[in-house]
A and B are shown apart, each in its own frame.
Chain A
């Protein structure tokens, strides 16, 4: 908390510059060492001029991002704006069409034509062992106990001796508060517990940067809090994190900078209090207004899902994963802006 306030004082808001005006292949104009970053540290992760086409569909249009050690970055935007694609391109779950990813000094240039070459894949594996990923759907391995979910990759990929991997795994399980679930199978855990195990699994690889792809979007509203608390503790504890999220409260609380992405490019970025309270770009403003409207509605009662299309709005209440975030997703295709 103190840290967030500190970060706010030290950062000044960068006025709206569209990514289009920033030189492609150049550095991230918004980047600056965070409040917890050791002096003189270089960025842990640099995404340089990332572009992605799906066929003729231009999904990412030259994204630059630099994250310094111990920083937490939130990326917000509608669904379909490219925010998940950006994260997936950063560890090559999707091969970017153009661009370079650098994590912990390892540089990999997008090479879609030679994506299957041995050398390229080895480089990608180097990057992946340094960047932990937490998915929306948790993706725990259902046939393995919790402890084996955590030790598998360290043993298989990094060659960590088994006993040591178990000790590390137990340490991170304790950190997410699930030591007592050590020998359970994932199906026995609640969604919130599964996601916390997934976070511990990513941590067990001791990555340089943690990437979260909408980690609470698949969760029942009552379970979101426990996951966000773990993430906030990590952020305040000096982890380097990139979080794609709809949780504005988390962004406000834990982020050093918030990036707003639309149509595959960063529109605006800045410290959360500046960007979330006084957005400069009309597109950011429109997005935030919609989000706060959804949040109000969601808080107002049992109404959890709101979809607006072309002025008409339909409201569905009640159960299911149809959370307020889904309502925002629904907005993605109504062609405004």
Chain B
């Protein structure tokens, strides 16, 4: 900018310099105000969370010694919570992909089946589905280990919700892409696999991240089929020792920290994707 202006005859060099100064001043002012905003944000959280902690502590019901003693046991459930969530979301993606292909199918029975899947699963409570898989199926001789039952129920349920996400992602791929592939002689299957799905996946990745964070919380439900994950450990310990208050708060805080961690990671990933989109 400066170079261009400086090359032009009749432009006062001192004026150019003062413009540069103003630009720099504006940038500095912006940085200052953004820093101030962030500091106030952190300060407010500190006050609110601190106040809440003091309020909870002032009830006199939080026995620090007790929590310190049991904390390793509670936290020992975190790996299982994460394991169940990760495996379930992976299977849910598979269910969702099959479901979405069914939902865009022009073959009536396939479309009908996929639609029934989505309707039935979304229309019934997750906790009922989990109990059904774990407790009702054994009456027919299908006995699944708790972890298999839990993961199956969670992924079957999330698969139904994500079916609609995937379907929307597939339909968001521009029509011209499909036409271009067809015009090159590609079959419907080749077009779906090579052109539509790769673009649809990029579209739905942020939504999958949201579902994963929801999954971490919903994974607490598998404690009801006796999986000893975080919530099960907090609940059973709490009720056995008449300490539900502090154990549940402890569990809630751990869940909260987990979701904050993963949503920060997700935001970082999305930013990376946006940047690479700009670059590519």
B280→A153 contact, CB < 8 A: no
B280→A188 contact, CB < 8 A: yes
Give the docked Cα–Cα distance between A205 and B186 (Å).
Answer: 11
Q: Taking the complex as formed, is B65 at the interface, i.e. its CB lies under 8 A from any CB of chain A?
A: no
Contacts of B199 in A (CB 8 A): 142-143
Which residue of chain B is the closest to A125 with respect to CB atoms? Answer: B185
Contacts of A137 in B (CB 8 A): 176
Q: Write the A139-164 contact mask toward B (1 if CB under 8 angstroms, else 0).
A: 11111000000001100111000000
Which residue of chain B is the closest to A116 with respect to CB atoms? Answer: B106
Contacts of B190 in A (CB 8 A): 156-157
Which residue of chain A is the closest to B198 with respect to CB atoms? Answer: A143
Contacts of B277 in A (CB 8 A): 187
- Listed by A's residue number, 12 A-B pairs whose Cβ atoms lie within 8 Å are A131-B183, A135-B176, A139-B176, A141-B177, A143-B198, A153-B184, A153-B185, A153-B186, A156-B186, A157-B185, A157-B186, A188-B280
Contacts of A133 in B (CB 8 A): 180, 183-184
Choice from B177, B180, B195, B280 contacting A187 with Cβ under 8 Å: B280
A93 smallest CB distance to B (angstroms):
6
Q: Taking the complex as formed, is B179 at the interface, i.e. its CB lies under 8 A from any CB of chain A?
A: yes
Contact residues of B: prevailing secondary structure:
helix
Q: Taking the complex as formed, is A128 at the interface, i.e. its CB lies under 8 A from any CB of chain B?
A: yes
B184→A93 contact, CB < 8 A: no
Give the docked Cα–Cα distance between A225 and B280 (Å).
Answer: 25
Q: Interface residues of A, CB < 8 Å — how many? A: 28
Q: Taking the complex as formed, is A129 at the interface, i.e. its CB lies under 8 A from any CB of chain B?
A: yes
Q: Write the B181-217 contact mask toward A (1 if CB under 8 angstroms, else 0).
A: 1111111001000110011001000000000000000
Q: Write the B110-137 contact mask toward A (1 if CB under 8 angstroms, else 0).
A: 0000000000000000000000000000
Interface residues of A (CB under 8 A from B): 91, 93, 116, 121, 125, 128-129, 131-133, 135, 137, 139-143, 152-153, 156-158, 185, 187-188, 201-202, 205
Give the docked Cα–Cα distance between A125 and B184 (Å).
Answer: 8
Contacts A125-B185, A141-B181, A157-B185 known; 20 new A-B pairs at CB < 8 A: A91-B183, A93-B182, A93-B183, A116-B106, A132-B183, A133-B184, A135-B176, A139-B174, A139-B177, A139-B179, A141-B195, A143-B198, A152-B184, A153-B184, A158-B185, A187-B277, A187-B280, A188-B279, A205-B184, A205-B185
Interface residues of B (CB under 8 A from A): 106, 174, 176-177, 179-187, 190, 194-195, 198-199, 202, 277, 279-280
B179→A93 contact, CB < 8 A: yes
Give the docked Cα–Cα distance between A156 and B174 (Å).
Answer: 21
Give the docked Cα–Cα distance between A121 and B213 (Å).
Answer: 44
Give the docked Cα–Cα distance between A188 and B278 (Å).
Answer: 8
A128→B182 contact, CB < 8 A: yes
Which residue of chain A is the closest to B180 with respect to CB atoms? Answer: A139
Which residue of chain A is the closest to B177 with respect to CB atoms? Answer: A139
5 tightest Cβ-Cβ pairs between the two chains A and B:
A153-B184, A185-B280, A139-B180, A129-B185, A133-B183
B183→A152 contact, CB < 8 A: no
Give the docked Cα–Cα distance between A125 and B190 (Å).
Answer: 12
Interface centre among A129, A135, A142, A188 (most CB of B within 10 A): A142
Give the docked Cα–Cα distance between A227 and B52 (Å).
Answer: 67
Contacts of B176 in A (CB 8 A): 135, 137, 139
Contacts of A91 in B (CB 8 A): 183
Give the docked Cα–Cα distance between A135 and B182 (Å).
Answer: 12
Give the docked Cα–Cα distance between A205 and B184 (Å).
Answer: 8
Give the docked Cα–Cα distance between A142 and B179 (Å).
Answer: 14
Given contacts A143-B198, A143-B199, A187-B280, are A125 and B187 in contact (CB under 8 A)?
yes
Contacts of A205 in B (CB 8 A): 184-185
Which residue of chain B is the closest to A142 with respect to CB atoms? Answer: B199
Contacts of B198 in A (CB 8 A): 143
Given contacts A135-B179, A185-B280, are A143 and B186 in contact (CB under 8 A)?
no
Which residue of chain A is the closest to B197 with respect to CB atoms? Answer: A143
Contacts of A153 in B (CB 8 A): 181, 184-186
Contacts of A202 in B (CB 8 A): 184
Give the docked Cα–Cα distance between A140 and B177 (Å).
Answer: 7
Given contacts A187-B277, A187-B280, A188-B280, are A135 and B180 in contact (CB under 8 A)?
yes
Choice from B179, B182, B185, B202 contacting A143 with Cβ under 8 Å: B202
A120 smallest CB distance to B (angstroms):
13
